Amino acid sequence: MSPKRPVIGLPADRRVLGLHPYHLAGEKYLTAILDAAAAIPLIIPSIGRELALDELLGTVDGLLFTGSPSNVEPRHYRGEPSASGTLHDPQRDATTLPLIPKAVAAGVPLLGICRGFQEMNVAFGGSLWQRLHEVPGHMDHREQLDEPLEQQYGPAHEVVLEPGGLLRQLAGTDRLTVNSLHGQGVRELAPGLLVEARAPDGVIEAFRVANARSFALALQWHPEWQAVENPFSRALFAAFGTACRARADGNRN
């Protein structure tokens, strides 16, 4: 009999489609968990504290905080009001922001991507640039929405990996070329987080939780895109899956 696969939860986006709210997660994240992490994805509805977060952490072996078209509401990091037309998801904020520190404290492996990267920084007390391309000295990190997906998610710029970091260990090199599809970015890095990678303009592109008991890493780019075909992404998700499997095995013993 093959070993039982770990279960990785993905807090959903809450969207109103027609007249009804739905809880959604992008398929590219689900397939990365299935194929590159060798785990079972489980979509978690974003209904905040009603989930009983401590109980939830006893039912999953890991958590993936995904990217999203929505942004964290700036009131959570003492930011200025958002520009008109900015998409927010208060139900997701109410779920992920309290869940992240609880998961780290409980030793649950977690991986944050794009919005999830920003959520992790905010959850631990950091702040965000809301329109990074308007900040002097920074590049425009956004994708071109009129391009095909293959180009939007194509190589955009290098990141330099910090010496002694987990990403440098996984990559086996000191730099990677990554995609770039974000308008926001880390302004102040939260206490207890350590930089793992930076873009050429100095923007933080990855960090880890310094004193986490298990895997706790976040990236601003999108490693889930065609993860199995990218050697670094495959190594990243494999390491995340291994950490989730270790937690699952420990819980079963």
pLDDT of 50 reads 83
Round the CA-based radius of gyration of the chain to a whole number and report it: 17
Tokens 């601003």, residue located: 220
For the chain (253 residues), the mean pLDDT of every run of 10, in chain order, is 84 96 97 98 92 94 98 97 96 97 98 98 98 95 94 97 97 97 97 98 98 97 98 98 96 63
pLDDT of 253 reads 56
224 is annotated as an active-site residue? yes
pTM of the model: 0.96
Are 207 and 193 in contact by the 8 Å Cβ rule? The answer is yes
Structure tokens at 181: 């599809």
pLDDT of 1 reads 38
Catalytic residue (choose from 73, 114, 141, 143): 114
C-alpha closest to that of 204 among 213, 215, 193:
193
244 is annotated as an active-site residue? no
Domains of the chain from N-terminus onward: 7-252 (3.40.50.880)
pLDDT of 226 reads 97
What are the angstrom distances between the C-alpha of 209 and each of 89, 93, 164, 170?
A: 25, 20, 14, 17
Catalytic residue (choose from 73, 162, 205, 224): 224
Tokens 């350590």, residue located: 194
